[in-house]
Chains A and B, each alone.
Chain A
Amino acid sequence: MSEPITRRKILVDYRIRAAKCENCGRVYFPPKSFCDIEGRGSRMREVDHFYEKGTLLSCNVIRGPTKKFDYLKSFLSGIIHFQGDNLKVPGRITDYVPPPEEVDVTEFIDRGVVPRFRKTFTDGTSGLIYYSSMNFSFEDDYYPFQQYLPIKPSVNEKSSKPGIVGYGVYLPKFRIKNEGHGVLGVVERTLPFADEDTTTFAVEAGKRALIHSAIDSRYVKKCFVGSESAPYAVNPSMSTVSQVLELGEPYEDGFFSGGIDSQFACKAATDLFIDAAALVAYSTFGGEYVMVIGADNSQAAAGDPLDYTVGAGAAAFIFGKRNVIATLDCYVPYTSDTPDFYRREGEEYPKHGGRFTGIPAYFKHVGTAMKAAMKACNLTPKDIQYVANHSPNGKFPYQAAIEAGFDKEQIEPGLVVKYIGNLYSGSCPTALAAVLDIAKPGDKILMTSYGSGAGSDAYIFTVTDAIEQKRERSITVKEQIENPHRQYVDYSTYRRWKEG
């Protein structure tokens, strides 16, 4: 498919955009300029269905797909009905693997489905990657439907200190178990479905963050996506996230917003928390909010020790000054040129220094930053309720926190790596989210990231009263870890899906 065709499709497919006649209410997909009934004098307006849910009018199991969909082998395709606008669109059902025997697809008819931003297909390994929101998962399966209802801000919501306004975590449905008691404290891990990648994770997490914070996406003026598994070497995930989530004031078919993809191993996202907070406090910035996303389909070569700890997913945080749920009170970065883990341009998998990644790398940087942050704020471990450390495995973050003077009760809530694996850039943010899921107003949280190469950022947050009112709009990390619809796959499936 050519680049111009792709751009035109993006404008329709990312938001499931249709045209609606303002006179008779008839809806057309793809959008058209006039209503068949009202004629060429009709007034049409664009409507999108990105945050809607639909029902399956009918479907089938594709057993012999077109070449572009060979990578999915067999899957459900169907016709989705959005009842509100009486709109019907074709869509693929994702996160569902049909059994080899015949499926009575009539049983799926009338089931609720939720749009998902996923890959459709790719043009080989060097061409474009095509995405669409016209992929759907069953509403009563792993991925629930959530309404997006932005709340108009009031002047009373001004916070004196910038901080987190809302957050969202996306953990994929599929898991792989580690044998026995796990590997380095990791019992099971998340993995992408065949049509997921870092960009789709970032979009899902960002979508949940918008829903949680209930802010209007047009006021998000900057978006950072930190990752070490971006689908393109050149072509940012951030612009895809902004286009799908419509971040910034819309103008023509773009948006007045900016941002970048960032890379610093596993701290690519957390490094920018302070920048996000600084921007919203800076009058020249002119925006209300900044979104920071840590997303990774964490890569590891088959058989490498890392292959038993890596996970997949994303966490998104929105920073602002209104209705903040946790103020950002302290920031201490610590950096050195320590080559413990690296991947050369063009190489598929990272390499690492084995035991060298421990004491001289992770523990040195994380420990130094943690202690410096507490000292800067004149706090002791007793003053802090929770620790959220970067979690390459289940042992490192625990040991680092113990060495800094914390006890098990302060560490365990953030130690979600045991059930999701190492999310690389999403690891530390997901641990922070897991802690925020249970934190009470007044609680202090010490979050410390680690990025190989190497550096750590320690942050101290203080939870505010606003956290309680937003809780009903979140899908917690624990809910996702324990979701009864999560599905386990074998090692060969895990490798196939992980490598896309």
Chain B
Amino acid sequence: MKKLKPLAAIVGAGRTKFGELWYQNPEALLTEAGLKAMESVEYGLRRKDIQACYFGSFLYQVTNKLALIPGYMSRELGMNIPMSNTEAACGSGGSALYNACLGIRSGEYDVTLVGGFEKMTDRAGKIIDDLMFAGDPHEFDAGYTFAGLYASMMARYIHDYGDSSDGRCREALALVACKNHHHAVGNEYAQFRREFTVEEVLNSPLVADPIRMLHCSPVSDGAVALVVVSPEVAKEYTDTPIYIVGSQQATDDVSICSRESLTGIKATRLAMEKVLKETSMTMRDIHLAEVHDCFTIEEIFFLEDSGFCERGEGWKTVYDSYESFKGSKHIPYVNGNSELVVNAGGGLKADGHPVGATGVRQVYECFKQLRNEAGGNQVDKELNVALCHNIGGTGGIATVHILMREL
């Protein structure tokens, strides 16, 4: 692999626990994560060093009746620098980082703070309705929920690729949940730190047949922040920056109905093609992937959309990898000579899915893993290249980042 020119570097990261955080406002959560990120910078970071903030959030206007997040965060952080909030549904956090990278690549900024947050439990009773803002209104009028949209994609996937699989395809879709809950046990910030068996997943309450409750990521509160700087100044802040070497984004029709396929995400495929081209990598070069597993089918889509597996083969990789795994820690996906650890911290499924925070949380997890700072949840193998995959809605937007410890 040729030596890559980094686009940006991450020198600090902080997050809150994910879950039902009844006692904090969203801006306070973001402040907590932001201050933790600043405090984590090895050689220190003063607030006045930060030149711009990029936030990502989806529903705060609805869940908390707030707008103008820059104004709130100016008050919370005591700064008057440029700030913006990016809304791209569940892809808001990844988009915020993408925008920060553009800010740094343009030469305008050297030091930025990137944050993602969501406060979903303040409106738990109506959150199923609120999430449909990220769907086409005709999907809402057809009675769809988000789980329903993914359930229709999952049903078609089972029909096209798994109907003659003696139930193994459906089992694989449950195993994704089992694996990610297994990964979350050692994650001190995760919303759910317990194991689930395949039987428990397949007997959990029906949400949108064929999706059951344990195929779904939860409703969560939480915030995550990163200190993202230009590569040129990174070593002023730490000896071990994590470099961003690829940052790409693609979009597609907001409605699943108007897409080319129900059994994959075109925006993921396009963004992956671009980022692998940008970095001259293949999926075999990636050691760790934080994947947008809002529903377990989405993790399998990623395996196929990224090229790690052939179309329709993702579930077999999941099934065989899980069945053949003999260890006790992270369960990698194995396809031929390729091995990929996916969602080391539990993913959206078990770590939690405070929508706008998720894309930033994925980078946080990779940052910690690549720096060997994940503590009891550290992946038990040498890691140098990690990928973050964050999508919005049912695939209306996909943002991917590739991170490296050693260039």
Which residues of A line the B interface, CB within 8 A?
A: 9, 13, 28-30, 57-69, 72, 75, 77-79, 88-92, 98, 102-106, 109, 120-121, 130, 132, 134-135
Nearest-neighbor residue (CB-CB) of A94 within chain B: B143
Which residues of B line the A interface, CB within 8 A?
A: 126, 128-129, 132, 136-145, 147-148, 151-156, 158-159, 163, 205-211, 255-258, 262
User: CB < 8 Å: which of A13, A58, A89, A134 contacts B262?
Assistant: A58
Pairs across A and B, CB under 8 Å, 10 listed: A29-B138, A58-B155, A60-B211, A63-B205, A63-B206, A63-B209, A64-B207, A64-B208, A67-B126, A109-B155
User: CB < 8 Å: which of B158, B205, B206 contacts A61?
Assistant: B206
Query: Which chain A positions have C-beta within 8 A of B132?
Result: 66
Minimum Cβ distance to chain A for residue B51 (Å): 39
User: CB < 8 Å: which of A13, A62, A120 contacts B145?
Assistant: A62
User: CB < 8 Å: which of A63, A90, A106 contacts B144?
Assistant: A90
Most chain A Cβ neighbours within 10 Å, of B139, B143, B209: B143
Report yes or no: B258 in contact with A64, Cβ–Cβ below 8 A: no
Instruction: A109 to B155: give the CA distance in the assembly, Å.
Output: 9
Nearest-neighbor residue (CB-CB) of B205 within chain A: A63
User: CB < 8 Å: which of B136, B142, B163 contacts A106?
Assistant: B163
Known contacts A58-B156, A61-B206, A109-B155; 18 additional CB pairs below 8 A are A30-B138, A58-B152, A58-B155, A59-B152, A60-B152, A60-B209, A60-B211, A62-B148, A64-B145, A67-B128, A68-B129, A72-B143, A77-B143, A79-B256, A88-B257, A90-B256, A106-B159, A134-B142
Instruction: A69 to B258: give the CA distance in the assembly, Å.
Output: 23
Minimum Cβ distance to chain A for residue B173 (Å): 13
Most chain B Cβ neighbours within 10 Å, of A63, A72, A75: A63
Query: Which chain A positions have C-beta within 8 A of B255?
Result: 90
Report yes or no: A61 in contact with B143, Cβ–Cβ below 8 A: no
User: CB < 8 Å: which of A65, A88, A89 contacts B143?
Assistant: A65
Minimum Cβ distance to chain B for residue A134 (Å): 6
Minimum Cβ distance to chain A for residue B200 (Å): 15
Report yes or no: B155 in contact with A75, Cβ–Cβ below 8 A: no
Query: Which chain A positions have C-beta within 8 A of B262?
Result: 57-58, 79
Instruction: A63 to B211: give the CA distance in the assembly, Å.
Output: 10
Instruction: A89 to B138: give the CA distance in the assembly, Å.
Output: 8
Query: Which chain B positions have C-beta within 8 A of A98?
Result: 209
Known: A58-B152, A66-B129. A105 touches B257 (CB 8 A): no
Report yes or no: A60 in contact with B129, Cβ–Cβ below 8 A: no
Most chain A Cβ neighbours within 10 Å, of B142, B206, B256: B142
Minimum Cβ distance to chain A for residue B124 (Å): 12
User: CB < 8 Å: which of A105, A130, A135 contacts B155?
Assistant: A105
Minimum Cβ distance to chain B for residue A113 (Å): 12
Instruction: A92 to B147: give the CA distance in the assembly, Å.
Output: 15
Nearest-neighbor residue (CB-CB) of A63 within chain B: B206
Query: Which chain B positions have C-beta within 8 A of A68?
Result: 129, 140
Known: A58-B152, A106-B158, A109-B159. A63 touches B208 (CB 8 A): yes
